[in-house]
Structure 1
Amino acid sequence: MKEENNDDYFEKQSPSILRSIGGLLTFSTILPLNVYTTIEEMAKMTWFWPVINGFIGLIAALIAFILTKFIHFDPLLVATIVYGFLLIVNGFNHFDGLMDFGDGVMVHGDPQKKLGIMKDPMTGVGGISTGFIVGTITIAAYASLINYAYAVGFSFILLIIVAEISAKIGLTTCCICSKAGDDGIGKYFIQNMNLQNYVIGLIICFIISVALSLGPGIHIGLLGIIGGAFGGALTALIAKRHLEIANGDVLGTSNELGRLFSLIAMLILISINFSALL
């Protein structure tokens, strides 16, 4: 997640829940919504971010459905297009954070040195390798999911939405498990998360995942959400060990790992239940 300075983007507007939600989408995506508000007001809805991100997942699922049902693209090609769409629509912000995080944790030294490396505009081998590994496995996971959609049923494509909701579950989990730094935009999201709102958001996402995974199996969707939370908790643990605090780059990493572990968790159960049909 790219660190930015406060500017006219965060100019004070009339506060409301809908404006905060629209502001989050405007801030975190390239969608031309043009809803502007302060970072503080957006951050109040951090707990609801996974539900909001389900809209992005829905668009990605529609793309996958069209490419598989009507154009019959190869699963690997569909997976690459879907993942590319998700990176682009998010403005590469989370992926950029992932690469910065990879650079930071691979450097020997104290937390301040690692944080300094993460702020360096140049990307090193640690960041490039981390981005390559996470990106490659994510594409392969999507390809496996598309394979099951071809073989078993197109309802499996709805799990793309679950994975995208889980990406932000990873982010909110990281927020609730982390200590904020003194500067950067990431601190607002961490400071505005509390356990009560986190649990409420988690319950809502469990309900949505059940509805989306009725075809493949509700336990598959539930495990996807748990996988996303695991990815966020793992990111927070690594950040605490190497950096002591979490910033925007750490939150961006938790988004990417939340999605990845959600896909892997769901594919494990899918493989157990449906591998004989491939």
Structure 2
Amino acid sequence: MQDNDENNSINNSSAGGLRGIAGLVSFSTILPLNIHTSIEEMARFTWFWPVIGGFIGILAGAFGFFLLNMVQIPQIIAAALIYSFMIWFNGFHHLDGLMDFGDGMMVHGTPEKKISVMRDTRIGTGGMAYFVMVALVTFAGLTSAPAALILPVIIVAEVAAKMGIVTCASFSEAFPDGTGRFFIESMNKKLLLLSLVLSSAIGFLALNLTGVIGVIGGFLGGALIATVARRNFKWATGDILGTSNEIGRMLSLILMAWILLV
């Protein structure tokens, strides 16, 4: 009887793990997986997010490779289409966070007031300005990447984007309200190290040392946003985690383009 209970416990744990990962995929993309899970169950696998980023990167990178190396359209047009695909396939979730973050950064006053503005449904000048700045630099990074390497570059960039989220969550204090707190509270330094090792391995397999440096770009992006958030908002929210995704991708592309073109 005890053995049956133990087996049932293991099976339930495995099923919960698969649901959590599948739920995180559904949460991160537009894929209609119809997974019945909870935010808490998904948040247990926050450390696994960069691997999901690798899956997203394969799809976006294959799209970029098709445009540049098979259709052979001009890279400046391909870069615009690739970036559009990336933010669309992510369901615009992280982009929305970036724009809300920009609005909050424009406010003077207490952290509570800044967070209140950040969580407002309206989009202001700060949000539009942050979107334009990050979009332009990301677009420039995609334009600068060698066409022959666009697939691995995009894989690493999407891994780095999710590494940004993981890093930001690890160095932040969760705001008491909202779904972002579950992802932040699930992280610790050991899980951050595990995530960084996994991400670096994917980066190395994709693009050797350049890929590892690209992943570090995502790590630095997440750490930067966590620092900015502590100084301006005290706490971190889901919008701030979304911002770290966009900044992590942007810094990753900058570093890889710089290395590959030198």
Tell me the TM-score normalized by structure 1.
Answer: 0.87
1:224: Cα distance to partner?
0.3
Of 204, 210, 223, 1:210 maps to: 204
Spell out, residue by residue over 1:102-126, the C-alpha distance to the aligned partner (whole angstroms, 9 max, x if none).
0101111111110111111111100
- Contact 1:15–1:41 (CA<8 Å) still a contact in 2? no
Change (3 A) 1:241 1:155: same
Superposed, 1:124-135 pairs within 5 Å as 124-135=124-135
Q: Give unmatched runs, 5+ long, in structure 1.
A: 1-12, 273-278
**2 CA distance for matches of 1:96 and 1:20?**
23
Amino acid at match of 1:50: P
1:156: Cα distance to partner?
4.2
Q: Are 1:171 and 2:165 an aligned pair?
A: yes
Q: Give unmatched runs, 5+ long, in structure 2.
A: 1-12
Q: Are 1:40 and 2:40 an aligned pair?
A: yes
Q: Which residue of 2 aligns with 1:28?
A: 28
**1 CA distance for matches of 2:79 and 2:233?**
33
Q: CA RMSD in A?
A: 1.3
**1 CA distance for matches of 2:100 and 2:179?**
15
1:155: Cα distance to partner?
3.3
- Contact 1:15–1:37 (CA<8 Å) still a contact in 2? no
Q: Which residue of 2 aligns with 1:236?
A: 226
1:136: Cα distance to partner?
1.1
- SS, match of residue 70 in structure 1: helix
Spell out, residue by residue over 1:204-239, the C-alpha distance to the aligned partner (whole angstroms, 9 max, x if none).
1111111111xxxx2211110111000000000110
Decide which structure has greater helix share: 2
**1 CA distance for matches of 2:118 and 2:18?**
34
**1 CA distance for matches of 2:156 and 2:206?**
7
Amino acid at match of 1:23: G
1:28: Cα distance to partner?
2.0
Size of the aligned set, in residue pairs, is: 250
Of 206, 215, 233, 1:225 maps to: 215
- Contact 2:214–2:255 (CA<8 Å) still a contact in 1? yes
**2 CA distance for matches of 1:14 and 1:60?**
30
Q: Which residue of 1 aligns with 2:244?
A: 254
- SS, match of residue 71 in structure 2: coil
- Contact 2:222–2:248 (CA<8 Å) still a contact in 1? yes
**2 CA distance for matches of 1:65 and 1:14?**
36
**2 CA distance for matches of 1:198 and 1:74?**
39
1:15: Cα distance to partner?
4.6
Q: Are 1:16 and 2:2 an aligned pair?
A: no
Q: Which residue of 2 aligns with 1:92?
A: 92
Of 156, 161, 164, 2:155 maps to: 161
Amino acid at match of 2:157: A
1:134: Cα distance to partner?
0.3
- Contact 1:173–1:233 (CA<8 Å) still a contact in 2? yes
Q: Are 1:191 and 2:181 an aligned pair?
A: no
Tell me the TM-score normalized by structure 2.
Answer: 0.93
1:265: Cα distance to partner?
1.1
**2 CA distance for matches of 1:15 and 1:71?**
42
Q: Which residue of 1 aligns with 2:104?
A: 104
**1 CA distance for matches of 2:250 and 2:47?**
20
Q: Which residue of 1 aligns with 2:8?
A: none
Q: Percent identity?
A: 46
Q: Are 1:143 and 2:143 an aligned pair?
A: yes
- Contact 2:58–2:151 (CA<8 Å) still a contact in 1? no
1:130: Cα distance to partner?
0.4
